[in-house]
Chains A and B, each alone.
Chain A
Amino acid sequence: MQTSKSPVTPTAPSEGFGAAALFTLAAIVAGFAIELLTSGSGISIPRWPANGLFLSAFVSAIAAVGFGFREHRLVGWLGGIPVGLSLIVGMALLSFVGGVLPQDPAPAGSMVALFRLNGMFSSWPFAFVTLLFLFNLGLSLLWKTVPFRMSNLQFMLFHGGFWIALACGLAGTADLQRLIIPLYEGKESDVAYEMPTERPVRIPFSIYLKDFQIDEYVPQFALYDPATDQVIAEKAGAVPEVRKGARAVWPGIASATVTDFRPDALPDREGNPLPANGHKGVPFAKVRVEVPGQAPVEQWINGGGPEIRPQFLPVGNYFVVIAPGAPKAFRSNVMIRSSEGGHRAAVLEVNKPFDVLGWKLYQMGYDEKAGRWSTMSLVEAVNDPWLPAVYVGFFMIMAGNLLFFWKGIKKMEAA
């Protein structure tokens, strides 16, 4: 595994580590000093084309240093493992702080805010370490790539992929746009909002919401204890689903059987469910409850909805209740009209983004108070021009990873 081409070929593994650690520490201290001087305002990456120019200049600098001063001791050290390792440790420590402390607004003037410990991933120390990280990795990549040797392919793919993904991902944050578009059934909109400023933005297409739908899991029924605001455990450790014939046993209290089930109904005057024909209906279950030593009771219950009060079945100090099923899927049936004149019908659903004019549209949320009856749908529109570059990096990492796995297995066989 020892490098052969790198100019510094240390014999003692610890050689260069002290200096590298000091170097990393200096970068971190300098970063925190800048934060303190600017009251923790952090860095803001410039937008296109400035970020692209900066990245090109950075790559050129790496190439110039890497090719021009390859034999120089200092440059060899800058592109060597001790510096790389120290930076990995430095980045891990900064990430540790960012992973422990909440990354949310903190009171101005507090220590956390002054050093930007609450915005670690856009702070100067993190930026410095990342830049040096990319410099170190860039140099070693250069030296492993030129002259090209097949045996270095895994190294190039893994390190190169990581370099591209990290550099382009960070440079691209400035050009990433994530907007929220609230949609209402029967209405069309081309206004989106930037978060968290809520600044309105015109988007180059409009969306008409035809219909918003939610599928739910089967409702469940439970024995509810109002004194503790908890559900009594059922014998089988499950919350039973409501379906005809379903039975639940609450040991020592009661047992219940569902004798009838109407998934979508409205009550008539006597409280009996009638089919709702798709309009604001709720699930009704006819439940027969048996308490040892008492005559069985049978009654319709429902979980309530916007137009109906819920009905429970009292059992001693408890109630048998219906809980609506959790949302299984929700989707917006929309018509998208672009400024170029085209119409397109689309279904937006979680995990199934839809592409339009370089934007990706995501089903994000809905009016949770209205739940199944929501007529509002929240859609997120994301435009990330740097995504292809980042994905090239990801796929290089995975290809390198496969080679690494294969080489590892082969070496393992030899061991």
Chain B
Amino acid sequence: MTLVDFPAIAVATVTGWGLGSVLQIPARKSKPAAWASWLLMTGATALLAWFLASYWIALERPPLRTLGETRLWYATLIPVVGYLVEYRWKIGWLKYYCMGLATLFLGINLMNPDVFQKALMPALQSVWFVPHVVVYLVAYVLLAASSVAGWHNLWLEYRGKGSKLSESMSHYLALLGFVLLTFGLVFGALWAKEAWGHYWTWDPKETWAFISWLAYLGYLHLVARKTDVKVLQWYLGLAFLVLLVCWFGVNYLPSAQNSVHTYSGAS
């Protein structure tokens, strides 16, 4: 599979998610409709996962190098979080947000086609590459979901329909996300030592990873202080903005302009 096949795959995936979502309406009353709906939604995600796997094979390197490649992972993984939340807590609404976000990512990729590029600079050829990036990816996915859940909880609250269950759901998503964020940070430091000689250099990307980590650290300490749940939902909703800066906003900041990003010397 190469990028030539991507538009067809993307359209098929989004169609599967869309049809599956529509079928959720009759699914409340009809078992076969429910089956068909879940088959379509999970099948669409499986199709995307299969594309990702075969793209990995065709590239002869992990597809984790460009923003476009990481968006493919998000589009694959975010809906999975939605499905798991429904499975675990019987909360159905999160999956629509998740599939919506994933559709947005696929759309961005369709509008900015990546170039098929096998080359992987030497610094990225490391056993740390896949664990470091994948742990971060999953952390971002969980934290994105916790942020969406935070906003939705505020809305439910506003309409007087707030629920303990869905508030604890957003909390656990954030908690798991934080654990992975911490692993990602430490893995990154250990890798940096092997690749560039030092584990921490306050490079803009590192600084922003640290700020994002502090943001969620603040959340956990607010929880430890039994802060009002509504405040916590606001916090989760907004904290994701910090992650967004870290994820791709960094490139547009003044600090990145003369950033001799540490590996340019080696490329």
Residue B123 at the chain A interface, CB threshold 8 Å: yes
Which of A33-60 touch B at CB < 8 Å? none
Q: Which of B125, B214, B250 has the most CB of A within 10 A?
A: B214
Instruction: Return the chain A residue nearest B6 by Cβ.
Output: A237
* Chain A residues in 8 Å Cβ range of B182: 397-398, 401
CB distance from B145 to the nearest CB of A (A): 14
Residue A186 at the chain B interface, CB threshold 8 Å: no
* Chain A residues in 8 Å Cβ range of B202: 98, 103, 121
The reply to whether B254 and A101 contact each other, CB–CB distance below 8 Å, is yes
A88 to B210 CA separation, bound complex (whole angstroms): 11
Instruction: Return the chain B residue nearest A241 by Cβ.
Output: B118
A contacts with B, residue count (CB < 8 A): 63
Instruction: Return the chain B residue nearest A82 by Cβ.
Output: B225
Residue B207 at the chain A interface, CB threshold 8 Å: yes
User: CB < 8 Å: which of A98, A169, A378 contacts B207?
Assistant: A98
Residue B27 at the chain A interface, CB threshold 8 Å: no
Instruction: Return the chain B residue nearest A403 by Cβ.
Output: B179
Residue A365 at the chain B interface, CB threshold 8 Å: yes
Mark A368-379 against chain B: 1 for CB-CB distance below 8 A, else 0: 000000000010
CB distance from B10 to the nearest CB of A (A): 14
The reply to whether A328 and B122 contact each other, CB–CB distance below 8 Å, is yes
Residue A282 at the chain B interface, CB threshold 8 Å: no
Take A99-B204, A101-B255, A394-B189 as given contacts and tell me if A329 and B224 are in contact as well, using a CB distance cutoff of 8 Å: no
Take A326-B121, A405-B179 as given contacts and tell me if A238 and B115 are in contact as well, using a CB distance cutoff of 8 Å: yes
Mark A233-244 against chain B: 1 for CB-CB distance below 8 A, else 0: 000111101000
A99 to B119 CA separation, bound complex (whole angstroms): 30
Residue B66 at the chain A interface, CB threshold 8 Å: no
Take A100-B255, A236-B116 as given contacts and tell me if A85 and B194 are in contact as well, using a CB distance cutoff of 8 Å: no
CB distance from B192 to the nearest CB of A (A): 11
* Chain B residues in 8 Å Cβ range of A353: 194, 197
The reply to whether B122 and A401 contact each other, CB–CB distance below 8 Å, is no
Instruction: Return the chain B residue nearest A215 by Cβ.
Output: B122
A405 to B181 CA separation, bound complex (whole angstroms): 12
Which of B167-192 touch A at CB < 8 Å? 168, 172, 175-176, 179, 182-183, 186, 189-190
Query: How many pairs, one residue from A and one from B, have CB atoms within 8 Å of each other in the complex?
Result: 155
CB distance from A307 to the nearest CB of B (A): 25
Which of B211-262 touch A at CB < 8 Å? 211, 214-215, 217-218, 221-228, 250, 253-255, 257-259
Take A236-B116, A239-B116, A362-B196 as given contacts and tell me if A92 and B227 are in contact as well, using a CB distance cutoff of 8 Å: no
Take A237-B116, A239-B116 as given contacts and tell me if A327 and B222 are in contact as well, using a CB distance cutoff of 8 Å: no
Q: How large is the interface on B (under 10, 10 to 19, 20 to 34, 35 or more residues)?
A: 35 or more
Take A169-B200, A364-B266 as given contacts and tell me if A327 and B122 are in contact as well, using a CB distance cutoff of 8 Å: yes
Take A178-B197, A325-B119, A380-B197 as given contacts and tell me if A100 and B253 are in contact as well, using a CB distance cutoff of 8 Å: yes
Instruction: Return the chain A residue nearest B212 by Cβ.
Output: A92
Residue B54 at the chain A interface, CB threshold 8 Å: no
Residue A2 at the chain B interface, CB threshold 8 Å: yes
Q: Which of A1, A238, A239, A365 has the most CB of B within 10 A?
A: A238
Residue A350 at the chain B interface, CB threshold 8 Å: yes
The reply to whether A2 and B126 contact each other, CB–CB distance below 8 Å, is no
Residue B163 at the chain A interface, CB threshold 8 Å: no
User: CB < 8 Å: which of B121, B198, B222, B253 contacts A85?
Assistant: B222
* Chain A residues in 8 Å Cβ range of B113: 237
Instruction: Return the chain A residue nearest B189 by Cβ.
Output: A394
Take A102-B255, A217-B118, A326-B119 as given contacts and tell me if A236 and B2 are in contact as well, using a CB distance cutoff of 8 Å: yes
The reply to whether A91 and B125 contact each other, CB–CB distance below 8 Å, is no
Take A353-B197, A384-B198, A398-B183 as given contacts and tell me if A89 and B211 are in contact as well, using a CB distance cutoff of 8 Å: no
Mark A181-204 against chain B: 1 for CB-CB distance below 8 A, else 0: 000000000000000000000000
The reply to whether A412 and B4 contact each other, CB–CB distance below 8 Å, is no
A37 to B195 CA separation, bound complex (whole angstroms): 39
Instruction: Return the chain A residue nearest B204 by Cβ.
Output: A99
Mark A74-109 against chain B: 1 for CB-CB distance below 8 A, else 0: 000000011011001101100110111111100000
Residue A390 at the chain B interface, CB threshold 8 Å: yes
* Chain B residues in 8 Å Cβ range of A169: 199-200
Take A92-B214, A92-B215, A238-B3 as given contacts and tell me if A404 and B179 are in contact as well, using a CB distance cutoff of 8 Å: yes
Q: Which of A88, A103, A121, A350 has the most CB of B within 10 A?
A: A350
The reply to whether A401 and B116 contact each other, CB–CB distance below 8 Å, is no
Instruction: Return the chain A residue nearest B231 by Cβ.
Output: A13
CB distance from B106 to the nearest CB of A (A): 16
Residue B117 at the chain A interface, CB threshold 8 Å: yes
The reply to whether B190 and A394 contact each other, CB–CB distance below 8 Å, is yes
* Chain A residues in 8 Å Cβ range of B225: 13, 81-82, 85
The reply to whether A238 and B2 contact each other, CB–CB distance below 8 Å, is yes
Instruction: Return the chain A residue nearest B259 by Cβ.
Output: A102
* Chain A residues in 8 Å Cβ range of B210: 95
Instruction: Return the chain B residue nearest A360 by Cβ.
Output: B197
* Chain B residues in 8 Å Cβ range of A121: 202
Instruction: Return the chain B residue nearest A236 by Cβ.
Output: B4
A326 to B119 CA separation, bound complex (whole angstroms): 6
Residue A356 at the chain B interface, CB threshold 8 Å: no
A350 to B101 CA separation, bound complex (whole angstroms): 37
The reply to whether A13 and B227 contact each other, CB–CB distance below 8 Å, is yes
The reply to whether A351 and B179 contact each other, CB–CB distance below 8 Å, is no
Sample of 17 further A-B pairs with CB below 8 A, known A101-B254, A350-B123, A363-B266? A13-B227, A92-B211, A99-B208, A99-B211, A217-B119, A236-B116, A238-B115, A238-B116, A241-B118, A350-B195, A351-B123, A351-B125, A364-B197, A365-B265, A390-B199, A394-B189, A415-B165
- Ordered by A's residue number, 8 sampled pairs between the chains whose C-beta atoms are within 8 Å are A2-B224, A85-B225, A92-B211, A102-B254, A352-B194, A363-B266, A394-B189, A405-B176
3 smallest CB-CB distances across A and B, nearest first, come from: A238-B116, A99-B207, A350-B122
Q: B: which residues have CB within 8 A of A? A: 2-4, 88, 113-123, 125-126, 165, 168, 172, 175-176, 179, 182-183, 186, 189-190, 193-200, 202, 204, 207-208, 210-211, 214-215, 217-218, 221-228, 250, 253-255, 257-259, 265-267
